[in-house]
Amino acid sequence: MEGAVLFGLNPAKISQRKARYTIGISIRYEWDESIHSKGGKRVYDEINKVWRCEDCFDIFFKINQNLALGQEITKNYEMAGPRYFNLRIYKTIKSNPIFVNEEGIEKMGNWKLDAKTDYPPKKRDFTVTMRVGGTFIDVKAKHKISGNKINVKLEFN
């Protein structure tokens, strides 16, 4: 309680916090029989000619991780399709979830990044950045070539 009061009176007093949840996004990892056969949906990636596992939980922050206010984590990805990427963000109290459809995982939101035109393979790269705030996380997704982006603020109650 004291920390909440101090933060409310002077946000600069609190320089870091512990993550209350494991936060991540849904992505397709390359299929690994030893991990993904336990519940993953196998789909073929025509572009890269490999099997992938759908609905994998890619972690940005883990529960109880110390996070400095303003800390950013940026990851690079490639869109599965030529034009769109669905940014689906999840939270859980589990420290190492494998799939986003496991029990105890909650979807925080779903946004579509539209690159505005179809791009060939190797030109579909985009980044996702999560920045820690006092009571929120700023999320940005950006297609590297078109510059189109999504900006979202996730509040924690």
SS3 sequence of 28-70: EEECCHHHHCCCCEEEEECCCCEEEEEEEEEEEECCCCEEECC
Tell me how many degrees the CA angle 28-135-129 measures, rounded to the nearest 5. 35
In this predicted model, which residue has the larger pLDDT, 104 or 8? 104
Q: Residue 139: give its domain's CATH number.
A: 2.60.34.10
| Selection from 69, 70, 65, 75 nearest residue 25 by Cα | 75
In a domain, 3, yes or no: no
In a domain, 1, yes or no: no
Tell me how many degrees the CA angle 23-94-66 measures, rounded to the nearest 5. 55
- Is residue 86 within 8 A of residue 112, CB to CB? The reply is yes
Cβ within 8 Å of residue 60, ≥6 positions away: 23, 24, 25, 73, 75, 128, 130
Q: What are phi and psi of 13, to 5 degrees?
A: -65, -30
In a domain, 4, yes or no: no
Domain count, the chain: 1
At 134, the pLDDT band (50, 70, 90 cuts) reads: confident
Domain span at residue 72? Answer: 14-155
pLDDT digit string (tens) for 45-92?
887 888 999 999 999 999 999 999 899 999 999 888 889 999 999 999
In a domain, 93, yes or no: yes
Q: Are strands 72-78 and 22-30 parallel, antiparallel or unpaired?
A: unpaired
In the block, residue with structure tokens 């490999």: 50
In a domain, 46, yes or no: yes
In a domain, 53, yes or no: yes
In a domain, 90, yes or no: yes
Per-residue pLDDT for 3 more than 90? no
In a domain, 9, yes or no: no
Q: How far apart are CA 75 and CA 131, in angstroms?
A: 12
Q: How far apart are CA 141 and CA 147, in angstroms?
A: 10
